[in-house]
Each structure stands twice: as C-alpha cells, then as structure tokens.
Amino acid sequence: MNSDLLIHRLDRQFPGLGFAEWRAGPYHALWEARAQRIGLVPFGVDGAIHGRAHTRRVLLLSAFLAARRSLAPEMADRLFMACVYHDTGRQDDQVDPTHGECSCAVYRRENPPDEVVEALIRWHCITDKVAMEQIGRLPQGAVTAFRMLKDADALDRQRFGDLRAEMLRLPDSRLLIPVAKYLVDFMR
C-alpha cells in the first residue's frame, strides 16, 4: 500500500479530519513501522474476514484515533503492536472469545514481554465489563488504548455493513465511520 497516496486520497475525501497533519506527525512513523510487520507475522487464519487486510485497516484506524486523542507516543506504539497481533491466534473466522489469549501467545513467541501490549491483545475480544477489570490496573493511557483498539476493530465491521455506531466507545470513532467504509473499499 502506498501510504502517501492513501493519505492524499483520505485528505481529499474527508477534508477537516486532519489526515495531512497526521502524515506529518509522530503517529505516522510509528504506524508505518508496525504496518511493515504485518507481512512478517504468522496468522492462524489469513482469510478475508480476520486476515492481514483487516489487520491493516484496524492498525490505520487506531493510528488515526491515537492522533486525534493525542495518545502518548509510547502508548500509541504499544497500541499499534497490539493491533498487529490482535487476530494472529485465530484458527477460523467464527466468533471466538478465546482468540485473544491465542493471539497473545503468538505475540509472546516473537517479542519481549510487555504487559500493556499483551493485555490489549488478550482482552480485545472480551466484553468491556470483564476486560476493564484487568485493563484498569495498567499504566495511564492503557484504558484509552484499549478503547481505541476495540473501536478500530468495530469500525472495520463496515465490511459487513452491520456497524452499530452507538456501540463505539469514543466520540472520535464516530467521525471515522465513513473513513472505515472507504478503507474497506481501498484496502482489500
């Protein structure tokens, strides 16, 4: 994917959302570094639903949210790493509340321990109520990063046409609904 072309198109298609500014800021470089890893990471299933294209869109939407919410760059990098690995442990494309733990195992095989990244991966597919009991004990910014991952993952439901805006956790996520639809068409 040519990121310059994509950002140019997004900026033209959705003026006022700040995509050109995002391109010049710190989140873009972090996003680009993590996006390169997607091709190197093993996926249990690399299908049309939860494969690399989905992961690329979730990562990009998370990067936009991190920039809009001014998430600390260190936490943003952890969020982006969690995005890369969030579905790597899936064995199929069905509903599976255990795939977070399996994806966390893939992350641990390939990376040094990181409590925040592992928690984001592990708990992204569990109900918010249960996950928040765990995430809430992590360093400042982890709860926001968790909500960004959950919302970016939910925004990519645009590929099915069943996204429910009221289920999104962050107001900025609602602004990205048309962007998510555009990305589904652009990033196949």
For the stretch 94-119, pLDDT in tens is 888 889 999 999 999 999 999 999 99
159 is a domain residue: yes
In this prediction, the residues of the chain whose per-residue pLDDT falls under 70 are 1, 48
Q: What is the pTM of this model?
A: 0.93
3-state class (DSSP) for residue 38: coil
Residue type for position 105:
A
Identify whether 20 is part of a domain.
Answer: no
Give a yes or no: residue 121 inside a domain.
yes
Are 170 and 151 within 8 A, CB to CB? Answer: yes
Residue 132 falls inside a structural domain = yes
Query: What pLDDT was estimated at residue 178?
Result: 94
| CATH code assigned at 156 | 1.10.3210
The verdict on residue 1 lying in a domain is no
Rg (CA), the chain: 15
What is residue 23's predicted lDDT score, i.e. its pLDDT?
Answer: 85
Within-domain flag for 17: no
Is 21 part of any domain? no
- What is the C-alpha to C-alpha distance for residues 74 and 44, in angstroms, rounded to an integer? 28
Q: Give me the pLDDT at residue 1, please.
A: 57
Whether the CB-CB separation of 51 and 43 falls below 8 Å is answered with yes
Helix locations, the chain, DSSP H: 3-13, 19-24, 26-37, 52-68, 73-85, 99-110, 115-123, 128-135, 142-155, 171-175, 177-186
Range of the domain at 83: 28-186
pLDDT at 36: 92
175 CB burial (10 A radius; 0-12, 13-18, 19+)? middle
Residue 47 in domain = yes
How many structural domains comprise the chain? 1
